[in-house]
Chains A and B, each alone.
Chain A
Amino acid sequence: MNDAPCHSDAPLDRRGFFKRAFAIALGAVLGLVPLGAGLAVLLDPLWRHGPKGSAVRVTTLDALPPDGVPRKFPVLATRVDAWNKFTEVPIGAVYLRRTADGKVQALNVVCPHAGCFVDYLASRGMFLCPCHNSTFTPEGKIADRTSPASRPMDSLAVEVRGGNEVWVQFRNFEAGRAEKIPVA
């Protein structure tokens, strides 16, 4: 290389300083324009909201065991995935059970600990998360003080329409938090 070190370490005069500052500023502008446009697109999800919960018809009352044992049902609804809109596709699942007072209780199947799907073990009469062994009572309460989950299973609003149709206000909630915060 024939790079001659022709720069000097002499102190900069004012003109030289401004020239250098200007040269750096111009270089920064050149880099920031494409980077800024890219970051705007990258951060786009931050300005978008997830699905708002809406009432979904899940099943009929007849399908629920009379003895109050929870049963799992898929939740089918419209799902927007970036540019696509799918109708009647699975967006999650719920456990439904009849309560003693004749009403219906709905629990989101997602474990509030880390987001795995919770199983219902009929033999033990409780919910068990297959990932980290969180346990819940059939009502969704934390069954065991050593349970990794920091909050009970997420209950969802249920409405029985027309005497037989079970409608659930379906939502997902942030995992790993002690409070029940809807996923935005």
Chain B
Amino acid sequence: MKVLFDWLDHRTGCRGIIRALLYENIPGGSRWRYVWGSTLTFALAVQFITGIFLWMAYSPSSHTAWESVYYIQDVMTGGWLLRGLHHYTAQAMTVLLVLHLMQVMVDGAYKAPREVNFWFGVVLLLLVLGLSLTGYLLPWDQKGYWATKVATNLMAVVPVAGPALQKIVIGGSEYGHHTLTRFFALHAGVLPAAVIALVIAHIYLFRRHGIRAKDPKRKPDEAFWPDQWLKDTVACLAVLATVLFLIVRQRLFSSHGSLGAELGAPADPSEAYSAARPEWYFLFLFQFLKYFPGTSEVWGAIIIPSLVLLLVFLMPVIGRWRLGHRFNMGLLASLLAGTALLTWLAVAEDRNNRNYLEAIQLAERDTRRVRVLAQSPAGIPGEGALALLHGDPLTQGPKLFSQKCAGCHRYNGTDGLGAVPKTAQSASDLRGFASREWLAGLLDPSRIATTSYFGGTKFRDDKMVKFVQKDVAQYTPAQNGNLRKVIAALSAEAQLKDQIAADQRDEPMIQEGRILLENVMRCTECHQFHKPDDQATAPDLTGYGSRKWLINFIGNPAHPDFYGSHNDRMPAFGQDQILNAREIGLIADWLRGSWYEKVSESASQ
């Protein structure tokens, strides 16, 4: 071993390098306050190691970025840990940078002859923030997409070169493939290279000037190895433990909690995410901008931050004056306090913002859903995971319903998304439409004229309501038994997913119901049922509530097959091109409870 080492040392001088690295003199002995630089170096090393491995699985394009991150996060062995380490170490780094800066300031290590190293440090701080900003976009999820969009939109307010600069950075006028390739090149190439160069220069200058020892010296001088090394590694371990805790914290408190870093729903350029916020350490800037109305934005976004930065750069110069150090300490304290205050204001404002909280809830729902869909047997198509979400009745149905239907209709008393609309209900509640339960309510004399059914419409005093309230109300127990069979038969027309088992089980009853519906119960006096009837004045009951029936109905309720000229206010959504065929299909599927479900999920229900 020694022979080999001697051989190597003779040729490379490695022994000298190791000595130089390990036996740096620490005046006054090792101290805990000197650990911050090492924790940052450690955090940086973690970012390089994890980043390179993530690189091997990441695919920067608008159709593959989210998908590849999802694959790392949910499918690849240890992917959640790798991504979690990268994500939370980035956050830890920001905290460590501030601690390092504070220690340097307090110990006066920024003053002559260490000015240049202080400037290197400030540039490194900015580079790390740049890494954070570029990295935030890479998963191409709703949060990163919309938050980064705000950041790049702000570039346009830079005087003169702004718009051109913005176009260069995002690789065109709109976000797309080239935004990702550029951000990725910055994140994994340009910025890390600059960081490496500056860190080497930073550490070189630090070693050149030595530690700015804290007086009074408590102990005799020591070498870095092993005492300061031990303190540094313990501090690094604490950082690592914190990061690991952040990665698993949600799972610690709930067996369904997610592991690793967050991944939202895939970026959707057609659906702005109003709760998009930058990383928490940029929240102060985000909040700061709120105080600059109209065209004064350039002050909040560019001029004031640049001036503050200039002041920070000048700190070593200011520190030469008699009261300079005190001024610098005061400046740093007020900057940190201001940042903390603005961050707190941003958080507090969001916490009380109903729209924000609703948007978060909706986004979480989409996030869970798209990850279930991605794991479905159909898998993610070539055009990306967004197509899965766009074609999903469970998530798109309620959105469309709340926009286009909830002005009059309700879904379980809400707009479909869980909120109660401000306008009064003036058409039926469509939850469970065409199910036996829903039809039993429709044919219930005490319920048909409520707003859940015809109460809010012009049919309130029409034939059907009168029939139910007069005739059905006086049904004998035997007739009520027949009514149940008719309801089962009519509901079976819809072929609802939830009722397949019941429909199969009750087939004889349904057969009987069909005959009763056609011949005994007077339904066909107004409705047609499996036989063409030119005299029919009410909606066709053939295939009632089926996908085709519902799509045609939404497409044009005033069609002779439905309400014809008696139609109340409902627009012809298809014919008048208020909704396209895909959207109508999504609403119909959602109302019919027809969407993909994970097998284990439905089995456990």
Contacts and interface: CB of A to CB of B under 8 A. Distances in A.
Contacts of B77: 40-41, 43-44, 47
Interface in A13-51: 16, 19-20, 22-23, 26-27, 29-31, 33-44, 47
Nearest to A16: B226
A86 B382 contact: yes
B575 to A, nearest CB: 33
Interface stretch (B16-24, B290-298, B460-468, B586-594): B16-24
A37 B86 CA distance: 10
Nearest to A1: B207
Contacts of B76: 41, 44
Given A30-B237, A41-B56, A83 B374 contact: yes
A84 B229 CA distance: 47
A46 B71 CA distance: 16
B494 interface: no
B47 to A, nearest CB: 9
Contacts of B374: 83
Interface string B14-53: 0000011001110000000000000000100110011011
A5 B221 CA distance: 11
Contacts of A33: 46, 85, 240, 244
Contacts of B380: 83-85
Given A6-B223, A84-B380, A86-B382, A37 B68 contact: no
A82 interface: yes
A80 B52 contact: no
Given A26-B230, A44-B77, A84 B240 contact: no
Contacts of A43: 77
Contacts of A123: none
Contacts of B24: 3
A36 B566 CA distance: 71
- Main secondary structure on chain B at its contact with chain A? helix
A89 B227 CA distance: 62
Contacts of A20: 225-226
A2 interface: yes
B23 A84 contact: no
A41 B57 contact: yes
Given A44-B76, A82-B68, A37 B233 contact: no
A30 B23 contact: no
A80 B379 contact: yes
Interface string A47-85: 100000000000000000000000000000000101111
Given A19-B230, A23-B226, A38-B53, A1 B78 contact: no
Interface in B54-105: 54, 56-57, 64, 67-68, 70-72, 75-79, 81-82, 85
A5 B237 contact: no
Nearest to B22: A7
B421 interface: no
A22 B230 contact: yes
Nearest to A6: B223
Contacts of A86: 381-382
Nearest to B79: A41
Contact of A41 (B25, B46, B82): B82
A37 B50 contact: yes
Nearest to B49: A34
Nearest to A30: B236
A37 B53 contact: yes
B162 interface: no
Contacts of B50: 34, 37-38
B49 A23 contact: no
A10 interface: no
Nearest to B24: A3
A37 B240 CA distance: 13
A34 B222 contact: no
Interface in B219-251: 221-223, 225-227, 229-230, 233-234, 236-237, 240, 244
Contacts of B236: 26, 30
A4 interface: yes
Contacts of B230: 19, 22-23, 26
Contacts of B67: 83-84
A1 B237 contact: no
Contacts of B382: 84, 86
A85 B381 contact: yes
Interface string B335-350: 0000000000000000
A6 B223 CA distance: 6
Contacts of B171: none
A6 B25 contact: yes
A116 B521 CA distance: 74
A29 B379 contact: no
B378 interface: yes
A27 B233 contact: yes
Contact of B379 (A27, A34, A41, A85): A85
B240 A23 contact: no
Contact of B56 (A16, A34, A42, A84): A42
B210 A41 contact: no
Given A37-B50, A37-B53, A84-B67, A6 B23 contact: yes
B10 interface: no
A84 B381 contact: yes
B25 A83 contact: no
Interface string A109-149: 00000000000000000000000000000000000000000
Contacts of B234: 26
A20 B210 CA distance: 23
A5 B71 contact: no
A2 B210 contact: yes
B208 interface: yes
Most buried by B among A23, A31, A34, A41: A34
Nearest to B383: A84
Interface string B183-214: 00000000000000000000000011010000
Interface of B: 19-20, 23-25, 42, 45-46, 49-50, 52-54, 56-57, 64, 67-68, 70-72, 75-79, 81-82, 85, 207-208, 210, 221-223, 225-227, 229-230, 233-234, 236-237, 240, 244, 374, 378-382, 385
Given A3-B20, A5-B19, 10 more contacts: A26-B237, A33-B244, A36-B78, A37-B78, A40-B82, A41-B53, A41-B57, A83-B379, A85-B379, A85-B381
Q: Can you list the 6 inter-chain pairs with the closest CB atoms, starting with the nearest?
A: A85-B379, A40-B78, A38-B53, A26-B233, A4-B25, A37-B82
Interface of A: 1-7, 16, 19-20, 22-23, 26-27, 29-31, 33-44, 47, 80, 82-86
8 contacts: A1-B208, A16-B226, A20-B226, A26-B230, A26-B233, A38-B50, A40-B82, A85-B378
